[in-house]
Amino acid sequence: MSVSEIPHENRQNGGEKRYLKANHEQVSVFFEYPNNTIKTSKYNAFNFLPLNLFEQFQRLANAYFLILLFLQLIPQISSLPWYTTVIPLVVVLSITGVKDAIDDMKRHQNDNQVNNRSVLRLVKGRMEEDKWMNVQVGDIIKLENDQPVTADMLLLSSSEPYSLAYVETADLDGETNLKVKQAITCTSDMKDNLDLLSAFDGEVTCELPNNKLHRFTGILSYKGKDYFLDHDKLLLRGCVIRNTDWCYGLVIYTGPDTKLMQNSGKYTFKQTHVDRLMNILVLWIFLFLIVMCLMLAIGHGIWENKIGYYFQIFLPWENYVSSSFVSSLFIFWSYFIVLNTMVPISLYVSVELIRLGNSYYINWDQKMFYAPKNTPAQARTTTLNEELGQVKYVFSDKTGTLTQNIMIFHKCSINGTLYGDVIDKTGEKVAVSEKDKIDFAYNKLADPKFSFYDKTLVEAVTKGDPWVHLFFLSLSLCHTVMSEEKVEGELVYQAQSPDEGALVTAARNFGFVFRSRTSETITVVEMGETRVYQLLAILDFNNVRKRMSVIVRTPENRVMLFCKGADTIICELLHPACISLCDVTLEHLDDFASEGLRTLMVAYRELDNKFFRTWSVKHGEACLSLDNREKKLSIVYEEVEKDLMLLGATAIEDKLQDGVPETVMTLSKAKIKIWVLTGDKQETAVNIAYSCNIFEDEMDEVFTVKGKDSETVRQELRKARSKMKPDSLLDSDPVNIFLAKKHKALFTMPEEAHALEGDVELELLRVACMCKGVICCRMTPLQKAQVVELVKRYKKVVTLAIGDGANDVSMIKAAHIGVGISGQEGMQAMLNSDFAFSQFYYLQRLILVHGRWSYNRMCKFLSYFFYKNFAFTLVHFWYAFFNGFSAQTVYDNWFITCYNLIYTSLPVLGMSLFDQDVNDTWSLCFPELYEPGQLNLYFNKKEFMKCLIHGIYSSLVLFFIPMGAVYNSERSDGKEISDYQSFSLIVQTSLIWVVTTQIALKITYWTVISHFFIWGSLGIYFCLLFLLYSDGLCQMFPNVFQFPGVARNTLNQPQMWLSIVLIVVLCMLPVIGYQFLKPLFWPVSVDKILKRIHYCMKHPLPPPIRPRRRRPGLRRSAYAFSHQHGFGALITSGKTVKSKALKKNSFPAKK
């Protein structure tokens, strides 16, 4: 087919729908469809430098220093060499750039690994191996069992009967249960015939690429007929082929057009709240600097007019100075350079070093090392450490993050007897160990992975207890599980949900082995004897019924109905004779629920042959009905599902990740709200929420949004809000007044996400934020990200998203902090995360220990750093009034160079890397210590102003005390010491003592390193002082070292040491007074907790009292958790059964 043969209407509608033709690449080229290459990296070789520099210069300080550099290149105003700014700026930009490049290289490596995977592509009648990135729209490709799907493709044929294919969608929606796809009848007959596949020239017209995972519409035109295409015929990229030997597909969407990539979200440049605050503070400092320079320039102009103009014989003006105004203009810029140390470039060097050091603490933390997988925690970015100490909302995936997605048959109740607990001779429960595990070696078909510890149940089975036998027979028959037996005796079950798999596996181990099935029979091995049951009907599950039943004919020709489902439903269907048994069973269910187990009831009914024949006719008519089919079937089902006889109940443990409930409880105490965003069904998510302590039985009420349109959802949300806070519905409510005035930016959401449409999103947010826990179900990856963005935009708090699969990448990118768990669903989440580890419970240590320490350290560092530079720089301001506003510096040039680089760098790094108010154990015992970070109490605009005021006060003391001490003073030998050099030395020595004492007061955790850094820095100062002011250096380089002998002559004067002592005392008095009075007059909750910790350290706590048993919780059915119909219709249709020609024995012989 040439391009000219493309139908005219498809050319015209190219922008409204997608058109393609099988085995014709020209169509793909004509419409410029992308190839199958994916790109998750940010940079390439051409845009790295400009894009990275653009991101780095979003920091106002970097831009400020760039401007300062240009000013220093002008000799008329420069009072400091240009390289003093260039070298630190280049170092900062280079370190950050290298780090960003390394992070992006990892993304490139991952992209290359995916793009270069191999796939079989049909080319000129034969299958050729090619790379994923070369696949084009319209290609036909072959996939085999356990292979990931290359691109979004239309299923053409498969090895399974009726061209079915089974796929696992964990990377898309987090669910590990299998989904069934089926090819169209017109292509399924092609099977693996390459001649037919090569000749296939079907034309597909479908919707444009979008992010809707569960929707697809299109039309296939083939041999003059049109065939409707829907989502059940589409294999999506990110899925994995399971239980299917091979399948062929026609590529519909490639690369960035695939639904997986459409949901992947975009990378956003992440800045911490501290970074953004520093941008604002740098702007404030810049304005403050401009005001000071303007004042000093005006002062210089006045001085030149009144004094300097008549003093030119001693201080002549430069040639380029023609008037006092011109001189003032130059002085303005000279002071701009002199006072630039208000925000030194070393601030950002120190910040990067501190973040790097705190990142290594995370990497080195042995308590976050997961030994079974030999996986340490990773800080994949070094820029977000202190943000970890301010988290208010955690958005978590469910499957693989909170749970292991492993269902375990834990307990059961049969005919009023509870099984599962191990009881000693005194009747008390005892803890079980691996040695108590029951040995099922007598059962050759048992699953070796199955664990059970109560031997009384095995004894009841072996003794032939009829109720126990009937109970397990019902579990082996009443399900839609499919069995695979590649090797005889080794059964593999493919279940629609993990719950069903756990129940059938339990029956298998206790001697009732589901062996195989056809559309008409179920084969069960009962206590070693093979029995075949005729399958008469499957009464399938749906969300309304919350139960399923099977009707079978036994080998003895008895018609039996077995039913299992939610206890609230089954209890209403029981025969009156079961009332007493039901009461006992419900008590057992309460016990199960109190342990967080998922429960369901099991019942049966024997049917009269005549009744069944009559009912079967009605059932057949309902199945063939075209109008209200579901309703008619439901009525027919109810006729037979009544007067049931209760057999018992099951309790399944949905195995959580280790320590999840404790972690959730600890984070809740830290006032961190946890929202679960899952692609799973509602009932499953709610059940897990209870198990994890996100929901509690003691809560007032659980609100469920069930609306199918925006207006209904809005009414449900308003009703919930009226129950929690009735005043919030009044027009006088402050939030309503604010929202009425504020223009609201809205998201464009998928049609089914009604709670996130238009102004409903604000209603959702208000209600959700009033609740203790929030569960969002059936979420697409993009919707997860949009929920995170919603909270970020309106709540202005720090958010953290944690997940383990590719379906979590979008929200990980959207949140302020993204955490990836290296779990069972690949490495996508980890590769796109900021922090990564192997277990959810490490999150509490990451946030409450490393995050809190990092935030506290960074706040202490910033407040101290700004203070010491204000005190250092503002001395120049006061000195200007005594030197004719000439931009002369107070200090020696070498002191200015070394002040931030050497003299004060080690103490501040020692505090910022090693300080901790309490150790990690107390941090986890008292999560309430985390609250100041959420409220940003330790460093904000108010704290900055305190630093500024303190710095101004200290600079006044540092200038005027030495000024008064040396003014008209003389030594004991009669020589004067009121010279500039002696004055400068006294000021700078006093400054070093003041800032060193200040940081010593700030440190709460002293180590050998802290002592060495702080007191050692004083030693370094005096050593360098004598070196730089030595006679030898001054004689060798007289233009560089201009303070010969000053140290030796000044340091032996008592006036100097008395001045230093007085200055230190005066500067420290306000600090000590504030630290003493603050807890008394302005206490915060943290002060009380710290006081309690100090008390506990001195007075150890008594042994903990054993908590009383929890009261029975709400029963949560395990079976009401499927979000769609079961496999019932598929099983009874016979489409899952291999043809007889392929069957050579009693079990499926699949390769």
Active site residues: 397
Instruction: Provide the β-strand partners of residue 487.
Output: 490
DSSP 590-621: HHHHHTT-EEEEEEEEEE-HHHHHHHHHHHHH
Exposure string for 464-475, b = 16+ CB within 10 A, e = fewer: ebeebbbbbbbb
Nearest Cα neighbor of 695 from 670, 659, 664 is 664
- Output the six-digit token pair for 461: 């089975």
Residue pair 379/554 in contact (Cβ under 8 Å)? The answer is no
Gap between the Cα atoms of 225 and 831, Å rounded: 46
The dihedral through the CA atoms of 110, 112, 115, 116 has a sign that is negative
What distances in angstroms separate CA 842 from CA 132, 676, 833, one per listed residue? 36, 17, 15
For 290-326, give the secondary structure using H, E and C: HHHHHHHHHHHHHHHHHCHHHHCCCCCCCCCCCCHHH
Gap between the Cα atoms of 47 and 39, Å rounded: 15
DSSP 915-946: --SS-HHHHHH-GGGGHHHHHT-SSSHHHHHH
Gap between the Cα atoms of 14 and 208, Å rounded: 9
Q: What is the CA radius of gyration of the chain?
A: 38
Can you tell me which residue has the tokens 């969407």? 253
Exposure string for 1084-1123, b = 16+ CB within 10 A, e = fewer: eebeebbeebeeeeeeeeeeeeeeeeeebbebbbbbbbbb
Residue pair 218/231 in contact (Cβ under 8 Å)? The answer is no
991 phi, psi to nearest 5 deg: -60, -45
Residue pair 250/25 in contact (Cβ under 8 Å)? The answer is no
Nearest Cα neighbor of 161 from 1140, 968, 1151, 1146 is 1140
Instruction: Provide the β-strand partners of residue 801.
Output: 395, 818
Gap between the Cα atoms of 22 and 18, Å rounded: 13
- Output the six-digit token pair for 188: 């399924």
Looking only at the bridges linking them, the beta strands covering 598-607 and 1116-1117 are parallel
Gap between the Cα atoms of 995 and 871, Å rounded: 9
DSSP 798-831: EEEEEESSGGGHHHHHHSSEEEEE--SS-SHHHH
Gap between the Cα atoms of 776 and 694, Å rounded: 13
- Output the six-digit token pair for 209: 């690429």
Exposure string for 824-860, b = 16+ CB within 10 A, e = fewer: ebbbbbbbbbbbbbbbbbbbbbbbbbbbbbbbbbbbb
Gap between the Cα atoms of 779 and 211, Å rounded: 12
Query: Which residues lie below 8 Å from residue 634, measured CB to CB, with a gap of 6+?
Result: 544, 545
Gap between the Cα atoms of 862 and 868, Å rounded: 10
Helix 941-966 with 273-306: angle, nearest 10 deg: 40
Gap between the Cα atoms of 332 and 947, Å rounded: 25
- Output the six-digit token pair for 1087: 């002060």
Q: Is 1145 helix (H, G, I), strand (E, B) or coil?
A: coil
Gap between the Cα atoms of 601 and 641, Å rounded: 14
DSSP single-letter state for residue 676 = E
